[in-house]
Amino acid sequence: MNKAKRIEIFSRLREDNPHPTTELNFSSPFELLIAVILSAQATDKGVNKATKKLFPMANTPEAIYALGEDGLKQYIKTIGLYNTKGKNIIKTCKMLIDLHHSQVPDNRRDLEALPGVGRKTANVVLNTAFGQPTMAVDTHIFRVSNRTKIAHGKDVVEVEKRLLRLIPNEFIMDAHHWLILLGRYICTARKPKCGACLIEDLCEFTKKSDQ
């Protein structure tokens, strides 16, 4: 795929959704961090239901740490892997209190040192909370990138690096959200809704399917 086609793809996505953001509900970098940790192998809708009850009661490292694992789990038990996530969140809160003055770090090294925070989670926080040009490649972005040929790769890190290199700078801040939404609602795994897609005529998958 050439540069002109990528520019046209992201121009259309921007025109359709000029100010995209995460579908997770949050009002601070800390709330976003907790929501993203909870969202692993879970839906944003399910996480929002849990945090709607949790955050009014506890939305700081000190407040969630004070709940303890058992107290926290009462709020997140509807979410998959809640036992592991509960343990990690309590440990993360303790580290934020002890090492970062209860503030969420704005750099990858410190974020990835927190329990339950991997590369994807760190990228979401850096992009959405701190406005850094990162690319959090989840299953949706991985699928869309390979299927459309915007940036193909064998694993998520390879796709991430190619996207950062190939997406024009003017689109890089919001590209993460556009691609996730495209994969979540249009370019779905089993049966993509090609006829409803804004970039159908530019997609390499569509062309291959027509042959």
Tell me which of 120, 149, 161, 208 is the catalytic residue: 120
Reported as a single tens digit per residue, the pLDDT across 131-182 is 999 999 999 999 999 999 999 999 999 999 999 999 999 999 999 999 999 9
**Domain termination site, one of 67, 99, 128:** 128
Annotation marks residue 120 as catalytic: yes
Query: pLDDT-based confidence at 207, cuts 50/70/90?
Result: low
Query: Token digits for 79?
Result: 């979410």
What's the pLDDT at 114?
Answer: 98
Active-site choice (73, 85, 138, 174): 138
Span 34-56, average pLDDT = 97
Q: What is the pLDDT of residue 205?
A: 85
**C-alpha to C-alpha distance for 12 and 6, rounded to whole angstroms:** 10
Q: Torsion angle of alpha carbons 20, 25, 29, 35, nearest 10°? A: -110
Shared-domain flag, residues 43 and 116: yes
Residues 33 and 123 in one domain: yes
pLDDT at 211: 39
Question: Do 44 and 115 belong to one domain?
Answer: yes
pLDDT digits (tens, 9 = 90+) for 62-71: 999 999 999 9
Residue 31 predicted with pLDDT over 70: yes
Structure letter (DSSP) for residue 202:
G
Q: What is the pLDDT of residue 204?
A: 85
140 contacts: CB under 8 Å, gap ≥ 6: 179, 180, 182, 183, 184, 187
Neighbours of 83 (CB within 10 A): 11
Catalytic residue check, 138: yes
Given 107, 128, 149, the domain boundary residue is 128
Which residue among 100, 128, 156 closes a domain?
Answer: 128
Residues 118 and 164 grouped into a single domain: no
The model's pTM is 0.92
The pLDDT value recorded for residue 1 is: 84
Token reading at 129: 């909370």
Number of domains in the chain: 2
77, 12: one domain: no
Instruction: Please check the confidence at residue 192 and state whether its pLDDT lies above 70.
Output: yes
Owning domain of residue 181: 3-20+134-210
